[in-house]
Amino acid sequence: MTTIPESLVSPVWSRITTILAERGEGAYLYGADGTRYLDFTCGIGVTNTGHAHPKVVRAIQEQAAKLLHGQVNIVYHRPLLELIDELRTIVPPSLDAFFFSNSGAEAVEGAVKLARHATKRPNVIVFQGSFHGRTGMTMALTTSKTIYRAGYQPLPSGAFVAPYPYAYRYGWTAEETVAFCLREVELLLQTQTAPWETAAMLIEPVLGEGGYVVPPPGFLSGLRKLCDAHGILLIADEIQSGMGRTGEWFAIEHFGVRPDIMTVAKGIASGLPLSGVIARRELMDAWIPGSHGGTYGGNAVACAAGAATIRAMREEGMLENARRMGALLMERLRAMQAEFPIIGDVRGLGLMIGTEFTTADGKPAKDAAKAVVKACLENGLMLLTCGAWDNTVRWIPPLIVTEAQVEEALAIFHTALTACNL
Ligand SMILES: Cc1ncc(COP(=O)(O)O)c(C=O)c1O
């Protein structure tokens, strides 16, 4: 096949470009026509080590030649043990039991099933704007856009939505926003889901698909206190914000809060399908054997890629680079904000940064954000948007990005803002 057979591909895959990707190397993606793109999408936050990191590729090749599939209900395999060993060095020490599956949605669904067995309670509190996946249950936990649920409702019950502390949207100070949002969680516990039937609060420590929103200080610790007071579990969905993306291994570390359960996926295996539920042993002990699982979860090649990913990130100081490059990006984007008033807000942690486009009368400037992203692509920079109105441009380069590449991306973005008359 030499042309793209659009009629043979399901339209349910919403399409951002029609590029035929030939290969990837570090921060670059190459089209079949030879065009080089600076990839600041990382395949939606997956290729944190860059495309085809040599150490990860070598681990995949070596493992593929030895054992592709060692089904985890039937046998143990070495890459699984190695991955657990590596993860133990980076996750909060209190999380000491590991379960693996393939996708982020599967991990979230697994985490909620675990919380239900461990607490014998049915309900989950989620936060406005969150994205947790597109399977049956995770659709019910997702409130970032109606497209993820319209036409599929009614969805499984038991999910209750509290506001996410999105201070810029509310137009309040950080303190006012935190106080309001914590009060609303308490109201939910008083009016809709009683504490004794609430198994967990499930939260993205930095809101991803919902708009790259960083919760102000005091919010996550406030949730922790509420959870402790009522025997509710705190689940951190680190699928997008984890694996070094924010300059720490996991975003929740920025807030000094300890989750009971954590979900990981995306960056964990540099592009191979792998996700995990990581929890306290005593919780995992309550998860009835056989009540959850899957044929491919903990695949040998994916686990080898995961272990190699963690080693490469540590050996090459990628978290430190994420902090340095993130600070540079943030500083330069804030300077551009002063020049282009369409950029209403610049926010983020490490290399998880959002620039929210807002019109002069305070409305989401979706068309402007789309136009800038399109102009950037035409000039060789790949960016994605996010947020309910897709008016936030996300900056998620690989954690190996260099200063020169950050400067190149900023120059393309600046040219696009100018060309779009913003
Ligand atoms: C925070 C978060 N949770 C869950 C998911 C779902 O992951 P997947 O698309 O692998 O099912 C995503 C995907 O974007 C995500 O960002």
* DSSP states of 118-166: HH---EEEEETT----SSHHHHHH--S-GGGTTTTPSPPS-EEEE----
For residue 44, give the ligand 1 atom closest to its CA: 14
Q: Is 130 in the pocket of ligand 1 (CB under 6 A)?
A: no
What is the per-residue pLDDT across 227-278, written as a single tens digit (0 to 9) for each? 999 999 999 999 999 999 999 999 999 999 999 999 999 999 999 999 999 9
Look up residue 80 and give its two tokens.
């699984």
pLDDT 10s per residue in the chain (422 long)? Answer: 667 888 999 999 999 999 999 999 999 999 999 999 999 999 999 999 999 999 999 999 999 999 999 999 999 999 999 999 999 999 999 999 999 999 999 999 999 999 999 999 999 999 999 999 999 999 999 999 999 999 999 999 999 999 999 999 999 999 999 999 999 999 999 999 999 999 999 999 999 999 999 999 999 999 999 999 999 999 999 999 999 999 999 999 999 999 999 999 999 999 999 999 999 999 999 999 999 999 999 999 999 999 999 999 999 999 999 999 999 999 999 999 999 999 999 999 999 999 999 999 999 999 999 999 999 999 999 999 999 999 999 999 999 999 999 999 999 999 999 999 88
Q: How far is the CA of 270 from the centre of ligand 1 (A)?
A: 15
Q: Whose CA is nearest to atom 7 of ligand 1?
A: 104
Q: Where in the chain is the domain with CATH 3.40.640.10?
A: 54-315
Cβ neighbour number for residue 62 with a 10 Å cutoff: 13
What is the per-residue pLDDT across 356-393, written as a single tens digit (0 to 9) for each? 999 999 999 999 999 999 999 999 999 999 999 999 99
**From 44, 144, 145, 240, mutation site for ligand 1 pocket: most ligand atoms within 8 A of C-beta:** 240
Q: Whose CA is nearest to atom 8 of ligand 1?
A: 104
Flag whether the pTM goes above 0.95.
yes
Domain 6-52+317-419 is in which class?
A: alpha beta
| SS3 at position 272 | strand
Residues 6 or more apart whose CB falls under 8 angstroms from that of 372 comprise 357, 393, 413, 416, 417, 420, 422
| SS3 at position 263 | strand
Domain 54-315 has CATH 3.40.50.1000: no
Measure the CA–CA gap between 220 and 201, rounded to whole angstroms. Answer: 11
Q: Where in the chain is the domain with CATH 3.90.1150.10?
A: 6-52+317-419
Q: How far is the CA of 360 from the centre of ligand 1 (A)?
A: 33
Measure the CA–CA gap between 318 and 310, rounded to whole angstroms. Answer: 10
Q: How far is the CA of 411 from the centre of ligand 1 (A)?
A: 30
Q: How far is the CA of 103 from the centre of ligand 1 (A)?
A: 7
